[in-house]
């Protein structure tokens, strides 16, 4: 069995925790038990963190859009770079890049990813023979690395509000509703070999779907998770108001967004929208590192969490991958905006603990799974490196504040369904995954 000096259980920290995995699940959990001589001993055990929002292929263009051109550099100019990059990707490229991204997620403390998967067709915009070809490549990368997968096939039909025609650069993303329903069936088949994959539905954004198409997507979800990009950019909010008379979050709440939904970004909200979203039961999928990289803006975090709003974190563009990085950036964005400290923690609580527990609960709800260390739960765990100088002499919440704010890389071991996929901070398949990625990436680099 595993033995942890301290572990974070649903009721808080416990000491001398022994855990056994069986069939991918936690089969036994004892507290206050001294280690047995044969136990595999670790200092601190945590539940694995859910990553609510990823576009895996974007990992390969991380850092390629940091050069200033003559014109203004915004989210929209970044998107042009991304569209040029996406045009050339083959199924083999997608598999190799996703494996790299998922390996890095595990190394960064994530044990499940919500893949917001919008790249569906070949470079000419035609369906592959298997319409879920690229979804199958995502599933293969999840299988290879061991990460849990909530696959969110994306419905994308238009280039902007008012059902504007899509651009040529968007041809690999497009469906009508009937084609999308067929894609969902094929995607369900693609993920079937994975032991605990979940299928959800992702209308891309209010730019890409009409009101009727949004309703059709929700109907197709049939109770499964619904994820949508919303209110990431001011220009998007202004265009939404011009086209519909409502702001994006307001529009979605008026159409039933609530429990079972994940609003990705939700960056630009009025105080009323913040209050309504917090009360709705929906999860805000905040992606602080990407939002900082893209210059999106700052989530209304303090007001939202003080009203009981649910949130989790996502790595989105995968410019940098790590659970602690997202939690730290979320907190720091609030400090910079509001000129205070310990902003995301309720009075008397540790900030690292408050951030982590919100991300665990919101992430699990958003990805359609359970969470927490308890008998019967998935064997998804992270241990921290107690030998890291930033963690020396710590205990309890001190581990989390040290990990989130003071350590560079402090994840030691990561178990997924009871298997140790990361040891000493490195994925067990790292060499082969990096080699396969390196072999493919040269062709994709701009000349």
Rounded least distance, CB 156 to Zn ion, Å = 12
Q: Which residue is nearest to Zn ion (CB)?
A: 316
Structure tokens at 244: 């519909």
* Residues 129 and 122: beta-carbon distance below 8 Å: no
Rounded least distance, CB 379 to Zn ion, Å = 29
Rounded least distance, CB 264 to Zn ion, Å = 6
* Residue with Cβ nearer Zn ion (318 or 334): 318
User: Sign of the C-alpha dihedral, residues 84, 88, 90, 93?
Assistant: negative
* Residue with Cβ nearer Zn ion (3 or 268): 268
Rounded least distance, CB 204 to Zn ion, Å = 9
Distance CA 402, CA 384 (A): 10
| Residue 401 a catalytic site member | no
* Beta-carbon count within 10 A of 445 CB: 10
| Residue 316 a catalytic site member | yes
Rounded least distance, CB 270 to Zn ion, Å = 22
Antiparallel, parallel or unpaired: β 2-9 and 12-22: antiparallel
* Residue with Cβ nearer Zn ion (93 or 232): 232
Report which of 353, 266, 361 is spatially closest to residue 310, judged by C-alpha positions. 361
- Point out the catalytic residue in the list 93, 300, 316, 412: 316
Task: Write down the residue that tokens 């059709």 correspond to.
Answer: 216
* Residue with Cβ nearer Zn ion (159 or 429): 159
Alpha helices in 9-146 (DSSP H): 75-86, 91-107, 133-145
**What element of type H or E holds 361?**
helix 351-367
Distance CA 198, CA 148 (A): 9
* Residues 139 and 149: beta-carbon distance below 8 Å: yes
Rounded least distance, CB 113 to Zn ion, Å = 13
* Beta-carbon count within 10 A of 160 CB: 16
Alpha helices in 177-247 (DSSP H): 177-191, 211-221, 234-244
- Point out the catalytic residue in the list 265, 268, 388, 427: 265
For binding to Zn ion (CB under 5 A), which residues are involved? Answer: 316
> Active-site positions?
265, 316
């Amino acid at each position: 069995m595993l033995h942890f000096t301290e572990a974070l259980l649903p009721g808080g920290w416990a000491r001398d925790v022994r855990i056994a995995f069986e069939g991918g699940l936690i089969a036994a959990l004892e507290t206050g038990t001294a280690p047995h001589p044969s136990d595999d001993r670790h200092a601190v055990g945590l539940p694995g963190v859910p990553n609510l929002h990823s576009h895996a292929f974007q990992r390969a263009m991380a850092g390629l859009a940091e050069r200033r051109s003559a014109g203004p550099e915004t989210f929209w100019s970044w998107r042009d770079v991304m569209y040029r990059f996406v045009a050339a990707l083959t199924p083999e490229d997608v598999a190799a890049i996703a494996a790299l991204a998922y390996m890095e997620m595990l190394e960064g403390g994530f044990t499940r990813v919500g893949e917001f998967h919008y790249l569906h067709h070949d470079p000419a915009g035609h369906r592959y023979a298997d319409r879920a070809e690229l979804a199958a490549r995502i599933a293969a990368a999840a299988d290879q690395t061991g990460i849990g997968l909530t696959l969110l096939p994306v419905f994308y039909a238009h280039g902007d509000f008012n059902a504007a025609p899509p651009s040529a650069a968007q041809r690999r993303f497009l469906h009508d509703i009937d084609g999308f329903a067929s894609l969902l069936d094929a995607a369900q088949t693609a993920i079937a070999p994975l032991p605990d994959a979940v299928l959800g539905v992702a209308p891309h954004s209010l730019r890409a779907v009409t009101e009727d198409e949004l309703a059709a997507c929700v109907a197709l979800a049939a109770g499964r998770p619904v994820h949508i990009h919303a209110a990431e950019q001011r220009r998007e909010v202004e265009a939404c108001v011009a086209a519909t008379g409502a702001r994006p979050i307001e529009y979605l709440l008026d159409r039933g967004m609530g429990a079972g939904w994940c609003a990705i970004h939700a960056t630009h909200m009025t105080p009323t929208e913040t209050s309504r979203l917090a009360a709705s039961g929906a999860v805000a999928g905040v992606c602080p590192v990407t939002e900082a990289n893209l210059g999106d803006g700052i989530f209304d975090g303090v007001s939202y969490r003080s009203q009981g709003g649910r949130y989790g974190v996502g790595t989105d563009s995968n410019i940098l991958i790590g659970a602690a990085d997202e939690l730290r950036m979320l907190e720091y964005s609030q400090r910079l905006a509001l000129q205070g400290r310990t902003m995301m923690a309720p009075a008397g609580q540790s900030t690292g603990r408050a951030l982590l527990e919100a991300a665990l609960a919101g992430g699990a709800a958003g990805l359609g799974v359970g969470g927490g260390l308890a008998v019967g739960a998935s064997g998804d765990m992270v241990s921290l490196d107690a030998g890291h100088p930033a963690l020396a002499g710590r205990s309890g919440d001190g581990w989390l504040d040290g990990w989130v704010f003071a350590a560079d890389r402090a994840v030691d071991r990561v178990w997924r369904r009871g298997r140790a996929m990361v040891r000493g901070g490195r994925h067990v398949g790292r060499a082969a995954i990096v080699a396969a990625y390196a072999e493919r990436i040269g062709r994709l680099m701009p000349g």
